[in-house]
Amino acid sequence: MPTFDFLPLLWWGLPLVAAPIVIHLINLLRHRRVPWAAMEFLLASQKKYRTRVLLKQLLLLALRVAAILGIVLAMAQPRWTNALGQLLGGGRSAHVVLLDDSYSMGERSGAGGGEAATAFDRGLAVVGRICGELATTRGRQEIAVGRFSRFTPPRGSIAPATADTVPPTGAAGRLDVARQTVTPEGVQRIRDSLAAMKPSASDAGPLGALAAAADVFGDGGGSKATQVLWVVSDFRTAQWDSADDTLAILRQFAAGGTEVRFIDCAGEGAAGEGSAGNLTVERLAMVGGVPAAGVVVPLEVSVRNDGARPARDVTVDLREDGVVRPGARIPEIPAGESALQRFDVRFQKSGSHVIEARLPADILPADDARSLVVDVVDRVDVLLIDGALADAAPGAASRAGDAFYLAAALAPGAGAPTGLQPRMEPPRALATLDLKAFDAVWVLDVERLDAPEVTALEAYARDGGGVVFFVGPRTKPDVVNRTLHRDGAGIFPVPIAGMVDLLPDAAEQRPDVVVEEHPVVAVLAGQRNPLLDAVRVDRYAAVERGWEPAPEAGLRRLLSLRNGAALMVERSYGAGIVAAVLTTASPAWNNWSRGNPSWVVVMLELESHLASGRRRAESLDVGDPVSVMLDPAVDGIEVDFLVPPDGTVVHQAARPAAAGRMEARLDTTNPGAYAVRWRRTDGLERERLFAVNVDPDEGQLARSGREGLEKVLAGVPFTYENAASIDPGARTQNGVSLVTPLLAILLGILLLEQLVAWLSSYHPATRRGAAA
């Protein structure tokens, strides 16, 4: 059964078939009059050849009609689909439409007021047109539609999704429109479902969706259906320029004969020169301090300008638990760069608080807001292990010990609330106390630590705890090296060669302490600080000569001495941070803690830095699961998730997890603050808040375009069309093209027409012929 690629051309061209007949009829009315003498011969000829002439004229007319019909048919691009082949699936055409619904597709473009069309709107329109075209195409047309976000692998998964790693049944099951034969009724259902779709808040790339498409095509049962893959996207550089896995899958498509068609829906000029550009709240984070009630907590917000022009006087609106608070103003953000703005927040009550930063709406609203959940506590416990208390009675404390000076720095008093609650304990307490209850553990000039104490301390650090060591007269270098450093495997960052005096430097008058580049001491960096200049170090623990840390150890120096020796170092240890200050906390070897304000500042910063791995002031990305681990002994397993923005409640029963605990887990789809509520067995209701934000990288609207894709996807045949100019009718059709045989027939008809016309025409004879 023939089908036509350009069916409208056929309908428009068919009337032309009547042209020869009309011309013939017109000619009949336009006779030339000739007075004629030899009428008798003419009449004789007419009498003799009447039938023959009539047949010849009819044949000529038929040939001309056929010629025009052939031309019209050829222009309509007919193809033959075998009915039996269709029945067996051989004439089938399978289309998989993958629609990018990452939040960059929410980019608005278009002139004029009102609600401008988004790239996603254009994408939906394209999908609708494709469905409509397929519905009017003869032959068995199948279609499946899926959005990128439906196939994004969980963020926790390590391996990228490939055709092999995405479970086939699962992938097919996540389609928005399961593979089905296209019918007019089905198209209406598809369009209805499309109308309800909106861009997601995810940064979903094409990889998972392409793998799913491969699976959908594979479900065809091995039939030789024509396969067409439509990718309707904005083709942002961030998603398509690092596409090794994508390239691999697309090559599989090419090898399998699948036609790949890219439809670009991005608005023209949205990210181009002269455009308003897109501002993105790139980061909202707590940068220090102790998140305790009544304590000033410094936060910082970073705004990126992806436009082609600098953005000036950018106002960032701030909300604290939904209440508007004074915003932050950024004077200027250069084009293509980010600007950082700090602001302080003081939480009056303990508990989880939501901070939201929001920019004025621009062409891409999805990345204009970012939220942060800060868990504020009444007090933050800090454990101070003082070697001086090793032999003392429990609870005793010396006013001359290291712990005293450190506690004075961490908790100066009611006039300067820090939220920290130092607790001084002897070394043996490390093995008995639950270290997880402490924000950080400070180990001050201990002579030795036993194995259980070292084990507990290292476990605490590996789980994200912060540990800092001070040395002093009791510290034995060989013990430290053997039990704590252990050639780099232990918790102590550096090996100690011995305790040495820092020789006076009367000639040059240089300060004893040199500030290195590190966030903890950043407040003291730059020009010479008189407070730090006043610090005198008499004695310190020297690092073994010639020792070099392993590159992977990540050792960083915070402070040095004027002779180049390290004074304060830190490194990561598991999920936590360990630091070592190679002098005393008390004034025994230095005068730093004796009334120098910089001592308080650096110690508070160090405490904040050490505890950063344990403090919950982070946010999740959309797609990350919100998860709470429950103790069945004290927690109920019925959990309610309140999903932003309208607080829709999703109820869930916690499921067993490792170590006898229960886990309630919900994949996030929207940005904002998620609340998880459950009831404890004692009847108290518990709540945890989670801030979920979009991936700011998705807000970078730079496009790959045709050239970029051709470069990245080298070797993959594809067609690239703009959504505005797409011609779904130009799609690949199933069946055999009849154009070539039709043209051959047309040529034959034209030759035959010429022959008949020649035979019916007068051709002047040559002079010789005339004479004869």
Partner 1 sequence: MTHASRRFLHPEAIARIARLELRARAVVEGVLAGLHKSPYKGQSVEFLQHREYVRGDDLRRVDWKVWGRQDRLYVKEFEEETNLRLALLVDGSASMDYRSGALSKYDYAATLAASLAWLALSHGDAAGCAVFDDKVRASVPARTKRSQLASVVEVLEAPRGGRPTAFLPVLRGLAETLPRRGLVVVISDLLGDREGVFQGLQLLRKRGHDIVLLHVMDDDELDFPFEGPTKFEGLEIPDHLACNPRALREGYLAAVGEFLAEARRRAASAACDYSLIRTGEPVDAALVKFLSRRASMAV
- Can you give the binding site for partner 1, defined by CB under 8 A? 27-28, 30-46, 48-49, 53, 56-57, 760-762, 764-765, 770
End-to-end CA distance of the chain: 57
Sign of CA dihedral 757, 758, 759, 760: positive
Residues 6+ apart with CB under 8 A from 336: 305, 306
Among candidate residues 513, 527, 510, 523, the one with its CA nearest the CA of residue 592: 513
Closest to partner 1 by CB, 51 or 725: 51
d(CA 471, CA 580): 8
Prior bond of 645 cis (ω within 30°): yes
Q: Name the residue type at position 369.
A: A
- The tokens for 400 are 């001359």
Closest to partner 1 by CB, 45 or 193: 45
Strand order across the beta sheet in which 323-333 lies:
323-333, 311-320, 351-358, 369-376
Min CB(90)–partner 1 separation in Å: 50
Among candidate residues 390, 491, 399, the one with its CA nearest the CA of residue 445: 390
Min CB(52)–partner 1 separation in Å: 8
Closest to partner 1 by CB, 651 or 762: 762
Closest to partner 1 by CB, 37 or 659: 37
Largest Cα–Cα separation, the chain: 151
Min CB(72)–partner 1 separation in Å: 27
CA count, 13 A, side-chain hemisphere, 317? 11
For residue 370, the cross-strand partners are 357
Sign of CA dihedral 605, 611, 613, 616: negative
Among candidate residues 230, 274, 130, the one with its CA nearest the CA of residue 190: 130
**Three-state DSSP class for residue 415:** coil
Closest to partner 1 by CB, 12 or 41: 41
Closest to partner 1 by CB, 33 or 399: 33
Closest to partner 1 by CB, 46 or 193: 46
> Element (H or E) spanning 376, and its range?
strand 369-376
Min CB(184)–partner 1 separation in Å: 50
Closest to partner 1 by CB, 46 or 183: 46
Hey, how many other C-beta atoms are within 10 angstroms of the C-beta on 228? 23
Residues 6+ apart with CB under 8 A from 630: 636, 637, 639, 654, 661, 662, 663, 664, 678
Closest to partner 1 by CB, 45 or 169: 45
Min CB(723)–partner 1 separation in Å: 54
Closest to partner 1 by CB, 43 or 83: 43
Min CB(71)–partner 1 separation in Å: 25
**Cβ–Cβ < 8 Å for 141, 95:** yes
Residues 6+ apart with CB under 8 A from 673: 354, 356, 371, 373, 644, 689, 690, 691, 692
Min CB(756)–partner 1 separation in Å: 11
**Three-state DSSP class for residue 45:** helix
Closest to partner 1 by CB, 527 or 761: 761
Min CB(85)–partner 1 separation in Å: 47
Strand pairing class (259-264; 226-233): parallel
What angle, rounded to 10 degrees, do the helices at 184-195 and 119-136 form?
170
How far is Cα of residue 360 from the mean position of the Cα atoms in its chain?
Answer: 22
- The tokens for 380 are 């933050």
Min CB(17)–partner 1 separation in Å: 22
Closest to partner 1 by CB, 45 or 157: 45
Closest to partner 1 by CB, 1 or 43: 43
d(CA 499, CA 470): 13
CA angle 706, 709, 711 (to 5 degrees): 110
The DSSP secondary structure of 153-197, one letter per residue, reads PPTT--SPP-TTTS-HHHHHHT-SEEEEE--HHHHHHHHHHHHT-
Closest to partner 1 by CB, 399 or 767: 767
Closest to partner 1 by CB, 60 or 373: 60
**Cβ–Cβ < 8 Å for 303, 280:** yes
d(CA 14, CA 12): 6
Closest to partner 1 by CB, 49 or 547: 49
Min CB(50)–partner 1 separation in Å: 9
Q: Name the residue type at position 533.
A: D
Strand pairing class (296-305; 338-346): antiparallel
Min CB(36)–partner 1 separation in Å: 4
The DSSP secondary structure of 638-706, one letter per residue, reads EEEEEETTTTEEEEEE-EE-GGG-EEEEEE--S-EEEEEEEEETTS-EEEEEEEEE--GGGG---B-HH
Min CB(765)–partner 1 separation in Å: 7
Among candidate residues 188, 208, 211, the one with its CA nearest the CA of residue 200: 208
Among candidate residues 348, 238, 329, 226, the one with its CA nearest the CA of residue 708: 238
d(CA 594, CA 366): 52
Write phi, then psi, for 405 (nearest 5 degrees): -70, -35
Closest to partner 1 by CB, 228 or 756: 756
Closest to partner 1 by CB, 45 or 681: 45
Min CB(746)–partner 1 separation in Å: 24
Min CB(67)–partner 1 separation in Å: 19
